[in-house]
Amino acid sequence: MHKKLFIPGPTEVKSDVLEKMSTPMIGHRSKDASTLQRSISEKMMKLLYTDKQILLSTSSGSGFMEAAIRSCTKKRAAVFSVGAFGKRWYDMALGNGVAADLFEVEWGKHTTPEMVDEALSTGKYDLVTVTHNETSTGIMNPVGEIGEVVKKYPDVVFCIDTVSSAAGAKIEVDKWGVDICVTSTQKALALPPGLAICTISEKAVKRAETVENRGYYFDILKVYKYIGKKDHQYPSTPNLSLMFALDYQLDKIMEEGIENRFDRHKEMADYVRSWAKKNFELFGEEEYASNTVTAVKNTKGISVKDLNAKLAERGFTISNGYGDLKEKTFRIAHMGDITLEEVKELLENIDDILGL
């Protein structure tokens, strides 16, 4: 039996979208391939409120996170982390020999504009990373406000991780002054995993031009230049199957209406949060609670593992807490194409299993 996914990625994929994956192949150097890339770009630009170039990578989102920090840090990166995925940028920097400092807060808290200002005011950094939506803790950072601070430092390349929020929450790349915004297909975009997507600004491109050892496959400058020079094509063979599905899914997202889609996510988040507060507690600062995934504090000391086993028998699955938060918290994702009705059905089943 298929278990409906209420985990923060991969998320449920509609069958018509899945079917697009079986579109017959085209040459990746053909005009059709260029048309496909261009079509995806135009729609992604609308979704992310940007006029910057859109790049795709046949990797998961982590690919472009690594590409960004390696290709665009000349001096030193300031990595702001509020959980597991924030720290991932730091590990990527270390693994690539990129100079970086990690600025962490206690899990459940958010990154403040003041923290970023203080770090950047030292003049030590020329790149900063911030997680928009931290999936391990269910925290959504105020990236717009942080962006206002970053704008005071014109030499700093501003990178954000929107892997678990793009297409589920409004992300205004240009207004927020974001240079590289990274996401991937398998979360709020509701597609199978296998493509990373990012926006890239002129500033980021200019920086990459000054950085040596950008690597090969994840050299973001090479991907950018190829897109320009080769008429919207890629240095290596991209995941065309997923590109067909992405192009189609973006049409469906436009049909739903971008704002409507964000509103639907907000509604689902509000519903899950009030359920969590009634029966448990929210993990983390409510003011910064995520619109795509809710982390619930396990105040009743239930066995999350057992709950999930029972949910599985009924055709649902949720996520345990991340890392050290396992069993201390659990996470319910409400992102992608899932509806409020489906969320209600899940919670009714949890109520029934736990006798709430």
Distance of closest approach, residue 134 Cβ to ligand PLP, in angstroms: 6
* Of residues 84-103, those binding ligand PLP (CB under 6 A): 85
Distance of closest approach, residue 154 Cβ to ligand PLP, in angstroms: 27
Q: Which SS3 state, helix, strand or coil, does residue 183 take?
A: strand
Q: How far is CA 331 from the centre of its chain?
A: 16
**E strand segments, 26-166:** 53-57, 77-81, 100-104, 127-131, 133-134, 139-140, 157-161
| Closer residue to ligand PLP in complex, CB, 73/290 | 290
From the list 10, 53, 29, the residue with the least C-alpha distance to 187 is 10
Residues 6+ apart with CB under 8 A from 270: none
Query: Which of 71, 135, 199, 298 is in the footprint of ligand PLP by CB under 6 A?
Result: 135
Residues 6+ apart with CB under 8 A from 332: 6, 272, 276, 293, 294, 296, 318, 319, 343, 346
Distance of closest approach, residue 208 Cβ to ligand PLP, in angstroms: 21
| Closer residue to ligand PLP in complex, CB, 181/353 | 181
Q: Which two tokens stand for residue 105?
A: 């807060």
Does the footprint of ligand PLP cover residue 184 (CB under 6 A)? Answer: yes
| Closer residue to ligand PLP in complex, CB, 153/319 | 319
Distance of closest approach, residue 131 Cβ to ligand PLP, in angstroms: 6
In sequence order, what DSSP letters do the residues of 145-173 get, joined into one string?
HHHHHHTT-TT-EEEEE-TTTBTTB---T
Distance of closest approach, residue 97 Cβ to ligand PLP, in angstroms: 21
- The total of other beta-carbon atoms located within 10 Å of residue 95's CB is 11
Distance of closest approach, residue 239 Cβ to ligand PLP, in angstroms: 13
| Closer residue to ligand PLP in complex, CB, 8/238 | 8
With CB under 6 A as the contact rule, which of the stretches 72-80, 159-167, 315-323, 346-354 interacts with ligand PLP? 159-167
Q: Which SS3 state, helix, strand or coil, does residue 28 take?
A: coil
Would you call 326 exposed, middle or buried from its count of C-beta atoms within 10 A (0-12, 13-18, 19+)?
A: middle
Q: How far is CA 53 from the centre of its chain?
A: 18
Distance of closest approach, residue 20 Cβ to ligand PLP, in angstroms: 20
Query: Which of 37, 50, 73, 164 is in the footprint of ligand PLP by CB under 6 A?
Result: 164
Map tokens 């969590």 to a residue. Answer: 276
From the list 175, 27, 146, the residue with the least C-alpha distance to 82 is 146
Does the footprint of ligand PLP cover residue 131 (CB under 6 A)? Answer: yes
| Closer residue to ligand PLP in complex, CB, 120/188 | 188
Query: Which of 54, 163, 242, 332 is in the footprint of ligand PLP by CB under 6 A?
Result: 163
Query: Which of 161, 179, 247, 337 is in the footprint of ligand PLP by CB under 6 A?
Result: 161
Residues 6+ apart with CB under 8 A from 142: 110, 111, 112, 113, 288
* Of residues 57-76, those binding ligand PLP (CB under 6 A): 60-62
| Closer residue to ligand PLP in complex, CB, 153/284 | 284
| Closer residue to ligand PLP in complex, CB, 147/192 | 192
| Closer residue to ligand PLP in complex, CB, 191/205 | 191
From the list 56, 15, 38, the residue with the least C-alpha distance to 252 is 15
Footprint of ligand PLP (CB under 6 A): 8-9, 60-62, 85, 131, 133-135, 161, 163-164, 184
